[in-house]
């Protein structure tokens, strides 16, 4: 997993950001999920049939609303993955398998299995699993052209036999940052993060965004760091101590000022390098011109000496390796 993926995973580990992401994507910004109802629960899964295979959830949390328990998970993607519907289905299936295993262990240890059917399968007729909701967050640069469901990964042939009708599909719950028209459904700094990512390939557009949107003048440290990594601005963190601000709404980092200063410094550095290179090339060109001019003056002296000694033009051309026109210019 690359650094952008790790940084985004850490960013979404915040219960506020996690709740805001689900509320924005699933409920159009309504505050259905409360951050204080979330409990971090990320873990690795081992597939029973593949002892050496382990699967890691990027971010997983339990949501408890009253007596109701749910499992919410985010898979964050920096690159397009053409297996994503199948991957998410596998993650969810492993989660359900884990819940079943825990239920069976609990029922057996507490002697809760009463009927032959219950003893056979290991769970009671009234047992229920926690529903799992997986959201795939794509924050890469390229447009998402991968499948959006398990069905899109299948080859049904001509489809005339009717089998496709009975296929059990598995949709991919996907949010693509680079194709979203608006981020107004988010209420935390996710809105600022996603807004900046839209201009990853358009530095002029990014500069205009930062100059016109005052919200970027006071960012939290984790948002500033995440933006700097995802936008590939490694020198930005070095400026944080210089550009930390104390606004009415609290301490923060002025992303606008930081990036503008870095752009100006890059321009100045490029200008200095250009002047230095130009100076080097000028010196080299001067040396070259000097050598040419020196050789020319040497040839002139030889021709003058030969003319004084009475050499013919043909003899001078042959010995001094020059033209008649050159000799005439010296006479």
CA distance 117 to 85: 33
CA distance 20 to 23: 5
Res. 267: pLDDT tops 60? no
Distance of CA 274 to the CA centre of its chain: 31
Q: For 129-153, what is the mean pLDDT?
A: 96
CA distance 316 to 204: 65
**Percent of the chain topping pLDDT 70:** 73
The pLDDT score that the predictor gives to residue 247 is 45
Q: For 287-311, what is the mean pLDDT?
A: 68
**Alpha helices per DSSP H over the chain:** 3-12, 15-27, 84-109, 116-121, 190-197, 203-212, 221-230, 240-243, 255-308, 313-320, 324-330
Q: For 131-159, what is the mean pLDDT?
A: 93
The pLDDT score that the predictor gives to residue 328 is 84
- pLDDT class of 330 with cuts at 50, 70, 90: confident
Res. 133: pLDDT tops 60? yes
Pick 33 or 56 by higher pLDDT: 33
Pick 283 or 254 by higher pLDDT: 254
Measured distance between the N- and C-terminal CA atoms of the chain, rounded to whole angstroms = 79
**Residue 184: how many other CB atoms lie within 10 Å:** 10
Q: Poorest-confidence range of 83-92, 207-216, 297-306?
A: 297-306
- pLDDT class of 221 with cuts at 50, 70, 90: confident
Q: For 123-150, what is the mean pLDDT?
A: 96
Q: For 138-163, what is the mean pLDDT?
A: 91
pLDDT tens-digit series, residues 307-317: 766 667 776 77
The pLDDT score that the predictor gives to residue 270 is 47
- pLDDT class of 28 with cuts at 50, 70, 90: very high
pLDDT tens-digit series, residues 39-85: 988 766 555 555 445 667 889 999 998 778 999 999 999 999 999 99
The pLDDT score that the predictor gives to residue 121 is 95
**Percent of the chain topping pLDDT 90:** 47
Please give the full DSSP string across 15-80, using - where no structure is assigned: HHHHHHHHHHHHHTT---S-GGGEEE---EEE-TT-TT-EEE-SEEEEEEETTEEEEEEEEEESS-
Q: For 279-295, what is the mean pLDDT?
A: 60
Residues 6+ apart with CB under 8 A from 193: 11, 223, 226, 227, 230
- Are 59 and 17 in contact, with CB atoms under 8 Å apart? no
Pick 272 or 129 by higher pLDDT: 129
């Amino acid at each position: 997993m690359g650094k952008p993926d790790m940084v985004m995973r850490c960013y979404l580990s915040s219960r506020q950001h996690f709740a805001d992401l689900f509320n924005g994507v699933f409920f159009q910004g309504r505050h259905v999920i409360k951050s204080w109802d979330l409990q971090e629960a990320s873990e690795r899964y081992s597939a029973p049939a593949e002892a050496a295979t382990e699967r890691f959830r990027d971010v997983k949390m339990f949501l408890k609303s009253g007596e109701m328990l749910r499992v919410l998970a985010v898979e964050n993607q920096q690159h397009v993955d053409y297996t994503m519907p199948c991957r998410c289905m596998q993650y969810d299936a492993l989660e359900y398998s884990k819940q079943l295993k825990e239920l069976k262990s609990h029922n057996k240890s507490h002697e809760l299995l009463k009927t032959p059917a219950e003893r056979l399968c290991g769970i009671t007729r009234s047992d229920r699993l926690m529903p799992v909701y997986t959201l795939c967050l794509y924050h890469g640069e390229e447009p998402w052209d991968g499948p959006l469901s398990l069905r899109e990964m299948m080859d049904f042939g001509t489809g005339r036999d009717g089998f496709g009708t009975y296929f059990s599909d598995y949709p991919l719950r996907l949010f693509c940052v680079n194709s979203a028209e608006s981020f107004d459904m988010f209420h935390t700094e996710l809105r600022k993060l996603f807004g900046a990512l839209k201009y990853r390939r358009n530095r002029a557009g990014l500069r205009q965004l930062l100059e016109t949107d005052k919200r970027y003048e006071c960012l939290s440290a984790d948002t500033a760091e995440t933006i700097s990594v995802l936008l590939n601005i490694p020198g930005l963190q070095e400026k944080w101590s210089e550009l930390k601000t104390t606004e009415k709404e609290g301490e923060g980092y002025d992303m606008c000022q930081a990036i503008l200063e870095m752009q100006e410094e890059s321009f100045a550095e490029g200008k200095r390098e250009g002047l230095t290179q130009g100076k080097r090339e000028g010196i080299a060109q001067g040396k070259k011109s000097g050598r040419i001019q020196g050789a020319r003056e040497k040839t002139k002296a030889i021709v003058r000496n030969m003319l004084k000694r009475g050499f013919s033009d043909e003899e001078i051309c042959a010995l001094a390796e020059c033209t008649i026109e050159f000799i005439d210019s010296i006479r």
